[in-house]
A and B are shown apart, each in its own frame.
Chain A
Amino acid sequence: MTYLAKPKLIRPDTPKNALGYTRRDYEGAISTLCAGCGHDSISAAIVQAAFDLDIEPHRVAKLSGIGCSSKTPDYFLGNSHGFNSVHGRMPSVLTGAALANRDLIYLGVSGDGDSASIGIGQFAHVMRRGVNMTYIVENNGVYGLTKGQFSATTDKGSKNKRGVVNTDNPIDLVGLALQLGASYVARSFSGDKEQLIPLIKGALCHRGPAFIDVISPCVTFNNHSGSTKSYDYVREHNEAVNRVEVILPRAPITAAYEPGSLRRVVQHDGSVLHLRKLAEDYDPTDRIGAMNHLHERHSLGEIVTGLLYVDSSAEDLHRHLNTVEKPLNKLGDAYLCPGSQALAALNDSLR
């Protein structure tokens, strides 16, 4: 498959964002995924989120592993540098990139095989290290690219296309991310862009590890009845705890809500998350409560979605390492090389 260029015709009335960019400026190459694949909806949501947030495309670095899901960074943000790395190891590559330049926005895209099977080690460690990033898993409960094998997030009892039942226990990446210290944790559904776009926006504005598990049906290998990751199944079992709206620091607050039903969370960059409660008594700043709620609802067969946890005061990896404000990749020779005089003194101490 070779690359197809998209036509560049823009109508004069095309909407532009504050930077003067159109949505098209945030698009990428034409997708080669199957028609109807949930992953393509997620790409569209990312495009919309970046457009809405007035992000300069070159301030984003998008990284992925291997899989249908990991191919998608080619299909959005075409003016951003992308890195399609190796299977299951995107988190380490992203960590290194983030160390090199703290100023860019890092967007990691992965699949359930990529993150929960081969890459579960790196997934866990990137969360516990507090890397400043948005990490999206496009979770279809199956290995799409290698044609339909069960993945580590396939639910126990879920059937594959040939009727074989999965007997292994599933890994819940949301549960793991919560336990390991991610400071923004959400779950969504590729078929619900009203929910997904604001969650992505909130994550992109968040400082620290932001994780979104997006259930994203694989129409070719895992959309049949008996699968717990099909469009129908997810629609029927989706239980959102809240609805999020992201208000940029500069935007006037217009929406009016019933008192008591709204919660405001101010993030590091001044952006405000408006959380409209759907589930009674759900507190998205209570990590333990979030974990309990998830377990409880999971046992009832529900798929809990929404912004499950946010800690807007968390520290990130650069803070832990106490690195200088200026990106390391921009420090010149004079800042890095101690020079010959220091070396002469060192030599003296070694005699």
Chain B
Amino acid sequence: MSKAIQSCNDFVIKFANVNGSGSASANDLFARSVIRMGVPVAPRNIFPSNIQGMPTWYEMRVSAAGWLGRRGGCDLMVAMNPQTWDKDVAEVDPGGYLVYDSTKELPRAKFRDDLTVLGMPLTEMCNRQYTDARQRQLFKNIMYVGALTALLNIDFAEVEKLIDEQYRGKDKLIAANIQALKLGWDYAKSHLPCPIGLRVERADMIGERIFIDGNSAAGLGAVYGGATVAAWYPITPSTSVVEAFTAYCRKYRTDPDNGRARYAIVQAEDELASIGMVIGAGWNGARAFTATSGPGISLMQEFFGLAYFAEIPAVIFDVQRGGPSTGMPTRTQQSDLLSCAYASHGDTKHVLIFPEDPYECFELGARAFDLAERLQTPVFVLLDLDIGMNDRLCRPFSWDDSHRYDRGKLMTEEALEAGRDFGRYLDVDGDGIPYRTIPGTHPTRGAYFTRGTTRNAYAKYSETGADYVYNMERLRRKFDTARSLVPAPILVAAKQPTAIGVIHYGSTSAAMNEASTLLEAQGIHADSLRVRGFPFADAVLDFVNEHEQVFVVEQNESAQLRTLLINEGEFNPKKLIRVLHYDGTPITARFISGKIAAALTERKIAPLRKQAAS
């Protein structure tokens, strides 16, 4: 029998549950308890596209080092789903632990010799304690949290406190939950070998950080960014963006005098209507957004082209999932880059933003509205399921109260009255961005006809080649201007000068940061650059130029960011090496470092020192 795993503040625990059984809040309580112990956790939901009765897993990494990427493997399995028992038991690392409901006796063959098996008769305990079926179900979950508290040596008072905060004002619920928690705790204390080899020890590794999911953060970002109109159509994994926006609007945007709404949210009949409403609102001077996922992006294509060509601000939160088609609706991927970057027919290019975590979903989400109005164009904020639907530890949100919304180049009533020349599509400042008027600005001046057909600089219909070319060249200039306005990339330089670079973006950063240290431990030094926007800033292009090999780490099958880099930067494709993870699970540090190390060996590239840069 392998030795039982011994680890303090560094392990992976996985809960195998049945969808719809109320396990989510219990698992969340457990994660927060560990955080209250001062130890970082990174939980991830793994769930099917069903509401009830299907298996779900909640995989939680406890990492004193603060790594928030998925680690892989499993040290402790809380096996609560008989349906997936065999698979769940098989998944535990040798020497690991198995917590299960021992009410029904299971044959010996159903277990493994190399695991520490920790049974407790949860169903029996619940049936004895409660008569109501729903209560039996819900409190069973709290009971196992109680047991884990004892097994992992978590401070019981911290969990109690969390329950207290969660149900404040509902004393009955507090008492009932704490009772269930205590029952689990007592049982473990008197029947199981507490603590086991995996332990949570009090630390001080959380600091100021907050714990929230990216979709909620994006919804909050839209509130702070000044969005007043949201139109959407439900789709996993984006739905909770608008749900959060709705909740935060109720809280922050209800007029205190009369209870009326300083926002309008419409659940449209489909994604075409959603984006149509957003464009209508943007045209009419309100900040508007939609939230969707891949299939919605596909449906919205024609409208993206209209907004691009007619130059109308819009913000689109695309929470990416596995494609193509309906694909893997509840799994994560970064596979909409190309369908967003070049969305719609004809020569179009769009602005993209890649947040890495909830902090940036808020920060860059809010900033997207300034950018959309400054550039008068759709701005895509590309989240993915991994950051969108999982709680993540991140920096606390911050807001500069002196910041004023950048409404972009607006012709005012005064300017029109003073007789200033107004050409809706005229490049007056040389940055490709024209002035616009909002309908209703001036009784007799500044009205123009918006259309997706070609026009001259004064918005008059024109099929003249020169007018068309003027417009297209101006749009190109405008896109160039965008390069310096999108969020700048973030460089993490290796400890030593190196000719190896790694480019990554979005949710990959958690795994990438860890991968860098894994590589460094093998003597492989690589500079890494996190791209945060498209069109690419100069710093991105320079980074590629300054390194001999550049690995591009992505969570899609066709290397979409690499394609964008090659296309926009005109790089030699050989220089950009694919590191692709796309099975629907979040990428891991082990995967990245393994692929990079293997590729370097294969290419016989010793981790060379960088040629002296002159």
The interface of chain A, by Cβ under 8 A from chain B, is 1-3, 25, 29, 56-59, 61, 63, 73-74, 78-86, 89, 91-101, 103-104, 121-122, 124-125, 129, 317-318, 321-325, 328-329, 331, 333, 335-340, 342-344, 346-347, 350-351
Q: Which of B390-447 contact A (CB under 8 A)?
A: 396-401, 404-405, 437-444, 447
A194 to B517, CA, bound (A): 81
* B285–A351 touching, CB < 8 Å: no
Q: Is B495 an interface residue (CB 8 A)?
A: no
The 8 Å CB contact of B226, one of A91, A318, A333, is A333
B residues in contact with A81, CB < 8 Å: 437, 439-440, 447-450
* A96–B280 touching, CB < 8 Å: yes
Q: How far is the CB of B390 from chain A (nearest CB, A)?
A: 14
The 8 Å CB contact of A89, one of B276, B437, B440, B442, is B276
Q: Is B461 an interface residue (CB 8 A)?
A: yes
A46 to B515, CA, bound (A): 67
Q: How far is the CB of B569 from chain A (nearest CB, A)?
A: 33
Looking at the complex, which of B53-61, B264-272, B346-354 is the stretch in contact with chain A? B264-272
The 8 Å CB contact of A101, one of B262, B272, B440, is B440
Q: How far is the CB of B198 from chain A (nearest CB, A)?
A: 24
A residues in contact with B438, CB < 8 Å: 329
B residues in contact with A124, CB < 8 Å: 269
For the complex with contacts A2-B456, A91-B276, A101-B439, 18 further pairs of A-B residues with Cβ separation under 8 Å are A58-B443, A73-B449, A79-B447, A81-B450, A82-B447, A85-B306, A86-B303, A86-B306, A96-B284, A99-B266, A100-B281, A122-B269, A323-B262, A324-B261, A329-B286, A333-B226, A346-B220, A350-B212
The 9 A-B residue pairs whose C-beta atoms are closest, nearest first, are: A96-B280, A92-B276, A100-B286, A96-B277, A81-B439, A3-B460, A329-B285, A93-B280, A100-B284
The interface of chain B, by Cβ under 8 A from chain A, is 35, 206, 208-212, 220, 223-224, 226, 228-229, 231, 252-253, 255, 258-266, 268-270, 272-286, 288, 302-303, 306, 310, 396-401, 404-405, 437-444, 447-453, 456, 460-464
Q: Residue on A with the closest CB to B366? A: A337
A94 to B280, CA, bound (A): 6
Q: Is the interface of B mostly helix, strand, loop or mixed?
A: loop
* A95–B288 touching, CB < 8 Å: no
B residues in contact with A338, CB < 8 Å: 223-224, 252-253
Q: How far is the CB of A68 from chain B (nearest CB, A)?
A: 14
A259 to B224, CA, bound (A): 60
Q: Residue on B with the closest CB to A336? A: B226
A88 to B431, CA, bound (A): 34
* B462–A2 touching, CB < 8 Å: yes
B residues in contact with A336, CB < 8 Å: 223, 226, 228, 253, 262, 405
Q: Residue on A with the closest CB to B463? A: A1
B residues in contact with A86, CB < 8 Å: 276, 302-303, 306, 452
A92 to B232, CA, bound (A): 12
10 chain-A/chain-B pairs, Cβ below 8 angstroms? A92-B280, A93-B279, A96-B283, A121-B273, A336-B226, A336-B228, A340-B399, A343-B398, A344-B396, A351-B210
The winner among A63, A80, A100, A340 for most chain B CB atoms within 10 A is A100
A107 to B277, CA, bound (A): 15
Q: How far is the CB of A79 from chain B (nearest CB, A)?
A: 5
Q: Residue on B with the closest CB to A121? A: B269
With known contacts A89-B273, A94-B280, A347-B396, A322–B268 Cβ distance under 8 A: no
A81 to B437, CA, bound (A): 9
The 8 Å CB contact of A129, one of B266, B270, B437, is B266
* B261–A321 touching, CB < 8 Å: yes
A residues in contact with B448, CB < 8 Å: 81-82
Q: Residue on B with the closest CB to A92? A: B276
* B440–A104 touching, CB < 8 Å: yes
A residues in contact with B450, CB < 8 Å: 81-84
With known contacts A96-B284, A333-B405, A58–B398 Cβ distance under 8 A: no
A335 to B452, CA, bound (A): 33
Q: How far is the CB of A130 from chain B (nearest CB, A)?
A: 11
Q: Residue on A with the closest CB to B397? A: A343
With known contacts A1-B461, A95-B280, A323–B264 Cβ distance under 8 A: yes
B residues in contact with A342, CB < 8 Å: 252
Q: How far is the CB of B450 from chain A (nearest CB, A)?
A: 4
* B440–A100 touching, CB < 8 Å: no
A25 to B272, CA, bound (A): 35
B residues in contact with A99, CB < 8 Å: 229, 264, 266, 277, 280-281, 286, 288
